[in-house]
Structure 1
Amino acid sequence: MSETVTVCEVGPRDGLQMAKTIMPTAVKARWIAAIAAAGVPEIEVGSFVPPKLIPQMADTAEIVREAVRLPGVQIVALAPNLRGAQNAYEAGAHRISVPVSVSEGHSRANLNRTPAEQVAEVARVVAWVRAQPRAMQVEGACSTAFGCSIDGVVPTAAVVRVASGLAEAGVDSVGLADTVGYGHPAQIKDVVRAVRAAIGPRLEGLHLHDTMGLGLANALAGLEEGIRSFDSALAGLGGCPFAPGASGNIVTEDLVFMLESMGFSTGIDLEKLIAARAILHAGLPAEPMHGNVPKAGIPRTYHPAGRAAA
């Protein structure tokens, strides 16, 4: 049997937060349903942040309540603090991702806290979630783990310190985010090894951007280090409003093509995934859409993992 790699689609959150216009809620719900119908196992559908800061996320509670009705898909929401976590729980989210910027500059710009203060906030979130009757997973996301457009170089020791703090806070998992897309494959390997040495298998995923054109190369480096969970965005949407210069996420369509071609099973139907771009384009007609596989077309040589070649 093929080894499984989990792909989490973050377009409805990370992708839309940088869009120049706001996707209508009904269109967003249809888009998310189409992504789920393509077999994507996890979808980050929004973030519980003040609408005045990111108006594109104002309908997140409504979207979560709608999305959790979709069968066979884990619904994820970003929650930067305890109040956001409580709102996500009330809406029915299966998992929350709580960001902790490793770099001081991004942490203050994004959350108005130091990294240490945000780790303490994560501990409060975990304690509250564990006291609730319904289970909700908590992921600690180490933002700017591979470089920062405000502070520049981010030392590996700082990433390990934040990741270790998150593990001590009791999160279910830790992810490493190349928030601004400055990382390179050797760096990905070095940081993954260092963090895994500190916190073990609690390190699960990578969130990669393609600013320097190295997104898929970095994903491959992560694969080689044993990472089996990746965030990506349909059509390569995305960026961070508090990280100048950050461009879109790695393209989900291209990532799935690479993984399946290499023999990793994602459970995703690539044709259905590409078809979901039509809903995205209808909801945001002025937004540029990226991706080499959708542009070139799925080649006849493509045989998804687990299916025999003709």
Structure 2
Amino acid sequence: GRDAELATLQDALRACGAQQRAQVVTLLGDAGVGKSRLVEEFLEWGGQQPEHIWLFRGRGGQEPGRRPYALIRDMLAFRFQIHDSDRAAEARQKLERGIVSFMGAAGAERAPFIGHLIGFDFSASPALHGILDNARQLRDRAYHYLAQFFEAATEVQPALICVEDIHWADDSSLEVIDYLARACERLPLMLLAVTRPALFDRRPDWGSEHPNAARIALRPLNENDSRSLVAQILRQIPNTPPELVDLIVSRSEGNPFYLEELIKMLVEDGVIVAEGEQWRVELARLAETRVPPTLTGVLQARIDALAPE
């Protein structure tokens, strides 16, 4: 049910390489509507293309204590395999080696600026001598070096920056993403920003100023697509009872996540018996089952059904 949206993403990635111009795509939708599933399908397709693509991936979060520029840190940590469990010195080395691998010797001088901005402690680096007390200059140079980094990366092959849940991202991270979209306009780079509508309460003009900007609004699945999804999930049930399909489709209201959680609840309640290669439906149990009217209710019902340890 998302073929048109997937094709739009695919066209944008092709265009950034063919036109040597940045493409900025915002994928917009409510919770559970299928954004993550579409992104994974798109990235899987991208990984199968003959032309290799540098992938940088980050995610906004609500965790307490997240630093400014956390989204940018996530992107580079993903690319350079920097883990939270790494010692500070090891994390700095991975970042510096990664940047040098794209920028050459100049990267060794630029990495401390980028790293220090995004929360790695490069305060002992000679490159930052005399500038640590000037936060604005450090920030401006780090921004500039980040743009140079992506310029160097895309000399070899296109790059894809995929940032998800940016409605939870800190403002400083959003500023960097917006800066890169403008500074890298003439590079074969695709920026895919995935968000809920809440982002536009903070940033009503998000993405609109870029010449190659597109916005994909994911709507709830229509009835036919919902029925197709139910049939796919319940394909191990021969002759699925129509009343079961009707119940799932009507209550899920086109929300794929709600639909899947509702099916899981019906399995846990014994309505759907998922044993072996052929599943079955207990119609008597179905008639007795009360389905919560909201996703929150379904999730709570599943939690309540968990057996105590």
TM-score with structure 1 length normalisation? Answer: 0.31
Higher RCO (CA-CA < 8 Å; seq separation 6+): 2
TM-score with structure 2 length normalisation? Answer: 0.32
Bigger share in helix: 2
